[in-house]
Chain A
Amino acid sequence: MSRPKNQNYKGHGLSKGKEREQRASIRFKTTLVNTLMDVLRHRPGWVEVKDEGDWDFYWCDVSWLRENFDHTYMDEHVRISHFRNHYELTRKNYMVKNLKRFRKQLEREAGKLEAAKCDFFPKTFEMPCEYHLFVEEFRKNPGITWIMKPVARSQGKGIFLFRRLKDIMDWRKGTAGKKLTSSEAQPARSAVNPPGGHDARSSEDQKDEIPVENYVAQRYIENPYLIGGRKFDLRVYVLVMSYIPLRAWLYRDGFARFSNTRFTLSSIDDQYVHLTNVAVQKTSPDYHPKKGCKWMIQRFRQYLASKHGPEAVETLFSDMDNIFIRSLQSVQKVIISDKHCFELYGYDILIDQDLKPWLLEVNASPSLTASSQEDYELKTCLLEDTLHVVDMEARLTGREKRVGGFDLMWNDGPVSREEGAPDLSGMGNFVTNTHLGCVNDRKKQLRQLFRSLQSQKKASS
């Protein structure tokens, strides 16, 4: 019983029935090709719908979401791959705002020490509105390098480094006249009313006659950890199934993306050195496609362990866990938690020479295109396991702590590696259930998992 609200309706209606009922076939839709399409097509019992057909599962892109989510009716069992206002986490200026607010709250409630755990984000100022605050900070630290990033663009576009205020003046003159394309425009946030909404600054932006693309100015990390003389950042995948309560899964695999050229602070103009996005690297004259410039994160973890010892590596990885959880907590109250939504985030982390991890940004639509055979394997397995966790086939009991390569990192509270309830009182024996960079024997685990689920089902029927 379809309920069209308007011509663009992409919802569907079928037999009502309990949410956990098994379906004969699952209709999926996606506009993406490459790895995702391969995974969806190969999934048993899943059929593709094209164009105007009804669907049970949609891996959409964010522009479709923006235009259609509010007008789409979805049955209980339907799943879609984004949260309505994910940009609270993924747009650099909103993320900074949410993080700063969360930090203040933590300081009030739990003290300075607890709040300091949120210091994984380099000092950032929104431009142009926080320009004066930025100048103050700038003057306090003469000679350091800053990086200017557009709020909404990806793949390294529009980013530049600077050390003098003069460089920004030139930029201001240059971009003031730039108009935003519709894909880059800020979403009309007033149309969506999140609780704990933001101040009126957004309306102030809209007052400008010529819309200026928003940027953030961020303190550039001048002492990145180098391997082979090269700078790199880490791409980690976090799957969020719901925000209220917060349920997040961490994928064991990921990769380190290397810059093709050697790191030196003297070449600020060389965009290729400083930006490690594969997209930017691809255009560097040194780029050889065969290389791929990537290391699987297991390789990276082993390398660090042989250089610094296992304890230092444990500390680093648990600091990274801290980043994932705190960043999600900071937007927990702001994001509209819709049970139809889940989201696979790509976190970009930079490690500095003191083995401290820094959060660069969070991507709502991490690239799913494969740059090499190894990459293809990683991404197809990642997507397969994502679909296992989303569990359209209603096979899981909901009590699993591991599904394939995903480990349940946060379930409305920390999740312990040990069986039974976590002992939160002591801090002594608690080991979080995360295994980033560890062995990913997902095939074996999935086999065991589904076999035991099957036998449980047989036993209960």
Chain B
Amino acid sequence: MLQEESDLSLVIAQIVQKLKGSNLYAQLERQAWASLQRPEIKLESLKEDIKEFFKISGWEKKLQNAVYSELSVFPLPSHPAAPPEHLKEPLVYMRKAQGSWEKRILKSLNSMCTELSIPLARKRPVGEQKELLNKWNEMGTDEPDLSLFRPVYAPKDFLEVLINLRNPNYENGDSLSFRTHLGLIQVPLKVKDIPELKEFFVELGLTTGQLGIDDSTQVPPELFENEHVRIGQKVLAEQDSAAAQQYIRQGSPTALRAELWALILNISSQPEDILYYEQLKTNVIQHDLLVDSLIYKDVKLTASNDDYYFVFEDYLYQVLLCFSRDTSVLGHFAYNSASPPKSYIRGKLGLEEYAVFYPPNGVIPFHGFSMYVAPLCFLYHEPSKLYQIFREMYVRFFFRLHSISSHPSGIVSLCLLFETLLQTYLPQLFYHLREIGAQPLRISFKWMVRAFSGYLATDQLLLLWDRILGYNSLEILAARAYCQLL
């Protein structure tokens, strides 16, 4: 009991610490001061009256949402004396594997840099800055020569790394038994089985209504759809993050989705956020990064050629170029097993004072990266809001799809979950595919790494991402991949 209490107070202290630096804190303070003018606030019961005021005016709700938002990425309970690396990734062999993968990526990037003799970053001449500013809303019309650039890596390269992951403490033995895992992933992580999945995803059971199924043309709307929409509107009116997250487990009505996601991710477009985005835009205008060319290349190769998303090409540049300069993204590396690559000012290699993170946000895009943004363009049209939503989706979910970790939502666990489901419940199919040399993970890996973006019709995809937000977990992707093979 005592331990739980002290754990809880530790958590509270950490969250309070985090929120104290946020804009919400400043706003609450201002509101509290302003409320002193109000007649109902009396000196004798100052604390209670202000609390009451916050409750009525909706500020308490905002605070609740902020706390809830922090909790969603809060690391799993661990030993209080655990070093920070353990928060990133508790298993040593995983950390090592991630470290060497990162070295490889960086080597590839550096060699491309040297080959093409392009600096990692350079300041744009004034003429070029003006030109880019004019073209900001139509960067897609640019046709720079990108033939010499290659994506730093593609999902299949990453899969090879995962296949070779081994736990040095785990001895599989040479004899095959019914417990031997026949798939590609050979690390012993704990994944849910179907009864556990059923429990976890209880709202997706057959007896509960779902959007995407129970709102089809044959089903009269009175049965489920109308009521569900009504509840959704109510949730939005209450502005309650936690309720929205619970609600969206059954899918979101098309008209309410944009607002619901913003509520769950705790995004509200404040003037400061718009200003921040504008600042990032200025950074893009002033400096050109090598990473920009990689982004261009990726967009041209993937999203521009997509039947649905080619229309949003310009938005993708506006989001991704700013994203790569956003240092606030560095914060997520506290709970991401990956670490941001470091680069050194010319001539000062190894000297920590001259080290900078490169790219500024620490994320090196790979082939298909822009597809994380593309479906969001369906919902958000204002660039700064689109940007905020994407950034939050990335630091909550997407980063787990391309870093090596033991987290249940990490890509390694998802692969293992997929293979285990297949081997346990469709063993004949699994065995047959193996025999003909088509390991099923090789087919489904790219779906999961991209969170199915580009592989599902947009309406289906958005319903899937509804569930990611609703359950705060990416396990649905493995389940979806398994269902695809059914």
Contacts and interface: CB of A to CB of B under 8 A. Distances in A.
Given A295-B308, A306-B378, A228 B314 contact: yes
Contacts of A293: 310
B330 to A, nearest CB: 31
Contact of A258 (B257, B311, B381): B311
Given A228-B312, A302-B378, 6 more contacts: A290-B305, A295-B307, A295-B311, A309-B255, A438-B217, A439-B217
B69 interface: no
A261 interface: yes
Interface string B375-391: 00111010000000000
A97 interface: no
Nearest to B137: A229
8 contacts: A227-B311, A228-B314, A230-B311, A261-B138, A262-B138, A290-B305, A299-B458, A305-B255
B138 A229 contact: yes
A254 interface: no
Interface string A287-313: 010111111000100110111111000
A107 interface: no
Nearest to A438: B217
A372 interface: yes
A64 to B, nearest CB: 35
Interface centre among B137, B138, B310, B312 (most CB of A within 10 A): B310
Contact of A262 (B141, B307, B379): B141
A281 to B, nearest CB: 12
A187 B299 CA distance: 50
A14 to B, nearest CB: 43
A191 B448 CA distance: 67
A236 to B, nearest CB: 19
B258 interface: yes
B292 interface: no
A271 to B, nearest CB: 16
A60 to B, nearest CB: 33
A303 B378 contact: yes
A286 B217 CA distance: 40
A374 interface: yes
A295 B308 CA distance: 7
Interface centre among B138, B254, B312, B315 (most CB of A within 10 A): B254
Contacts of A292: 307
A305 B256 CA distance: 10
Contact of A228 (B143, B254, B307, B311): B311
A299 B461 CA distance: 13
5 cross-chain pairs, A with B, having the tightest CB-CB distances, nearest first:
A228-B311, A262-B138, A309-B255, A306-B254, A305-B254
A441 B88 CA distance: 48
A229 B143 CA distance: 18
A292 B306 CA distance: 10
Contact of B307 (A286, A303, A374): A374
A281 B74 CA distance: 51
Interface in A415-461: 438-439
B444 interface: no
B313 interface: yes
B5 to A, nearest CB: 45
Contacts of A299: 308, 458
Interface string B4-39: 000000000000000000000000000000000000
A412 to B, nearest CB: 27
Main secondary structure of the interface of A (DSSP, over half): mixed
Contact of A291 (B137, B255, B257, B305): B305
B304 interface: yes
A228 B458 contact: no
B254 A310 contact: yes
A336 to B, nearest CB: 39
A98 to B, nearest CB: 35
Contacts of B138: 229, 261-262
A307 B381 contact: yes
Contacts of B257: 306
Range, interface on chain B: 20 to 34
Interface in B352-394: 377-379, 381
Interface string B216-255: 1100000000000000000000000000000000000011
Nearest to A304: B254
Given A229-B314, A306-B255, A306-B257, A288 B458 contact: no
Interface of B: 137-138, 141, 143, 216-217, 254-255, 257-258, 304-305, 307-308, 310-315, 377-379, 381, 458-459
Interface residues of A, number: 28
A309 B233 CA distance: 12
Nearest to B309: A228
Contacts of B143: 286
A229 B383 CA distance: 12
Contacts of A262: 137-138, 141, 314
A305 B257 CA distance: 11
Nearest to B255: A309
B314 A372 contact: no
Given A227-B311, A291-B304, A439-B217, A302 B459 contact: yes
A288 B314 contact: no
B318 to A, nearest CB: 11
Contacts of A230: 311
Contacts of A261: 138, 141
A228 B315 contact: yes
Contacts of B310: 291, 293
A288 B140 CA distance: 12
A196 to B, nearest CB: 42
Interface centre among A288, A303, A310, A374 (most CB of B within 10 A): A303
Contacts of A286: 141, 143
A293 B307 CA distance: 8
Given A262-B141, A302-B459, A310-B254, A372 B307 contact: yes
B258 to A, nearest CB: 7
Contact of B458 (A229, A302, A372, A438): A302
B141 A228 contact: no
B451 to A, nearest CB: 19
A437 B216 CA distance: 15
A229 B308 CA distance: 15
B100 to A, nearest CB: 37
Interface string A262-292: 1000000000000000000000001010111
A372 B310 CA distance: 14
Interface in A197-229: 227-229
Contact of A288 (B254, B255, B304): B304
A14 B143 CA distance: 62
A216 B378 CA distance: 37
A307 B312 CA distance: 15
Nearest to A261: B141
Nearest to A307: B381
Contacts of A307: 381
A258 B257 CA distance: 25
Nearest to A305: B254
Contacts of A303: 378
B461 to A, nearest CB: 11
B233 to A, nearest CB: 11
A229 B310 CA distance: 12
Contacts of B305: 288, 290-291
A228 B255 contact: no
A291 B304 CA distance: 7
Nearest to A435: B217
A288 B303 CA distance: 13
A258 B377 CA distance: 16
